[in-house]
Structure 1
Amino acid sequence: MGSMTELGYGWLTPILSYLMAVLGSGLGLRCMVRAVGSTGRAKRNWLITGASAIGSGIWTMHFVAMLGFTVTGTEIRYNVPLTVLSLLGAMVCVGLGAFAVGYGKHRYRSLLLGGTTTGLGVAAMHYIGMLALNLHGRIGYSPAAVALSVVIAIAASTAALWAGLNISGPIAAAGASLVMGLAVSSMHYTGMDAVSVQVQPADTPLHGATLMQFIFPLAVGLGSYLFLTSAFVALSPTAQQRAANASAEGLRHLPAVPQ
């Protein structure tokens, strides 16, 4: 049995991965709030932006956390196509969940459908990412821990979508982002607790890329995307602000009332 650790770099990777989860969740929630107050093309664009933010955030969280994953007796490589698939799958599933909530006619039914779809997407991202691992040995999973991680993912996703529909204040939104980040991180580490590795030493070279060769640069790129998008969302006026500006502009052009 290979000995494993999630803390190969101490607490650095858990903290950094948590921050990425919070950033992605917070940005996604802000986009959901903007989508609720928008119509037409603007609504669609905000939902797409929110889905890409949450999908990027949870993917980056997962692979930053994987920097601390080591197995004694074997090096680890990652299958590049499967790794990219895990990212695209996360974005698509989160997008389906966001659109189900954004356009659903029955509020709570749409929330349940959207939360379930998004949660399954989060879990699929995690386990496709784990499937991308190449090492000298066999990876096994505890069914109970896997099931618990999926339940956590669905519960966290449903809570995030609910927050996107019901929370608009900056302080409340920040609190929801912290909780969502904690829930996503909990899902990851619960899923990792389900893993066991039976090492089979071999001299044959492993196929795939190391984290530093491919995944870490991609994670840095996605992290930069999240920061830039956060700045764009923060600087974009809300629907209420646009309405207030339009009203003020209209009042400014009214003819003066004779004295």
Structure 2
Amino acid sequence: MIEHFAHGPLTLSIAFLVSMTGSALGLLLCRHARLHSSGRRAAWLVVAAFAIGGTGIWVMHFVAMLGFSVDDAVIRYDPALTAASAAIAIAVVACGLLIIALGRYSTWKMLIAGLLTGGGIAAMHYTGMAAVESTVELHHEAVYVAAAIAIAVGAATTALWLALSLRRTAAMWPAAAVMAVAVNAMHYTAMLGVGVGGTVSSSVEGAHAVDLIFPMAVVTAIVLLLLIQTVVMAPTAEELRTDERLAALEARHR
């Protein structure tokens, strides 16, 4: 029997809070990115991708997987594939943000970015699932795979639209909650499609989830602290306009 909440509602609650926090920080960084010209804007968007893709999506996936177990089966994780899934999440979100936020906006750009990012998020999930090593065979039902991809595309498009359009800080947290619900829905829809076959091995290699928790928690904490510091230290729109006026005055007096 497959269990998705082996530790009760704890993993779901933590996964949701982590996803919402990463999404909110990412939205705040995207809002700041819009204050800059293309070069600096791209840099801010990449930082935002670490918040949304790395924390809001990938860390949520890993935390949720801590609740995954199969009766009488050993579950281990391939560290290389697990790290690759994190890189995919960050990369596809960065691509989506750069597509919609650089140059002139169009509906086609949003749709393309949503499809690319959503497909990438699904690829992240199934790369993470490919990292699972078990004494039993795990397979994925096609209907749930298709549903998960559809949810991922919808969630990604919504997230990109929010990143492009939100202006008020007060709106960031409700928007982040919507994004977290969508990301969790995608993950658990995909997991509902996981089935168990026969025994394939009496032993497996790879790292136990507990062995990955400490390094992941340390890295996540460091990244979150850096992102929070970045958001707090980022100059406001008024400060940027003041700097521009001072720079113009200095240029006139040279």
Q: TM-score, normalised by structure 2?
A: 0.91
| 1:209 aligned counterpart, secondary structure | coil
Give the partner amino acid of 2:168: G
Listed as ranges, the matches of 1:204-219 within 5 Å are 205-219=203-217
String of CA shifts for 1:155-203, please: whole Å, max 9, x gaps. 1111111111111111211111010011001100001001011241753
Cα distance between partner residues in 2 of 1:188 and 1:173: 22
Listed as ranges, the matches of 1:146-161 within 5 Å are 146-161=145-160
Cα distance between partner residues in 2 of 1:131 and 1:216: 22
Q: Greater CA deviation, 229-238 or 41-50? A: 229-238
Cα distance between partner residues in 2 of 1:109 and 1:241: 34
Listed as ranges, the matches of 1:114-133 within 5 Å are 114-133=113-132
User: 1:88 — aligned with what?
Assistant: 87
User: 1:236 — aligned with what?
Assistant: 234
User: 1:29 — aligned with what?
Assistant: 27
Q: Cα 1:189–1:227, aligned 2, differ >3 Å: closer, same or farther?
A: farther
Indicate whether 1:138 and 2:151 are aligned: no
Give the partner amino acid of 2:195: S
String of CA shifts for 1:16-60, please: whole Å, max 9, x gaps. 011111112111111211122211332011111011111112111
Larger radius of gyration: 1
Listed as ranges, the matches of 1:1-259 within 5 Å are 3-57=1-55, 58-200=57-199, 202-203=201-202, 205-244=203-242
Give the partner amino acid of 1:127: Y
Give the share of equivalent positions with the same residue, in percent. 35
Q: Cα 1:128–1:201, aligned 2, differ >3 Å: closer, same or farther?
A: closer
| 1:114 aligned counterpart, secondary structure | helix
Q: TM-score, normalised by structure 1?
A: 0.89
Structure 1 vs Structure 2 CA RMSD: 2.0
Cα distance between partner residues in 1 of 2:31 and 2:248: 26
Kept in 2, the 8 Å contact 1:93–1:117? The answer is yes
Q: Cα 1:175–1:248, aligned 2, differ >3 Å: closer, same or farther?
A: farther
String of CA shifts for 1:197-231, please: whole Å, max 9, x gaps. 1241753x311111121255224412431233123
Kept in 2, the 8 Å contact 1:156–1:184? The answer is yes
Give the unaligned 5+ runs of structure 1: 252-259
Q: Cα 1:108–1:216, aligned 2, differ >3 Å: closer, same or farther?
A: farther
| 1:140 aligned counterpart, secondary structure | strand
Give the unaligned 5+ runs of structure 2: 250-254
Q: Cα 1:220–1:188, aligned 2, differ >3 Å: closer, same or farther?
A: farther
Deviant stretches of 4+, over 4 Å: 244-251
Cα distance between partner residues in 1 of 2:145 and 2:218: 28
Q: Cα 1:122–1:207, aligned 2, differ >3 Å: closer, same or farther?
A: same
| Aligned positions, number | 248
Cα distance between partner residues in 2 of 1:195 and 1:56: 24
Deviation of 1:244 (Å):
4.5
String of CA shifts for 1:65-90, please: whole Å, max 9, x gaps. 11110101111011111111111111
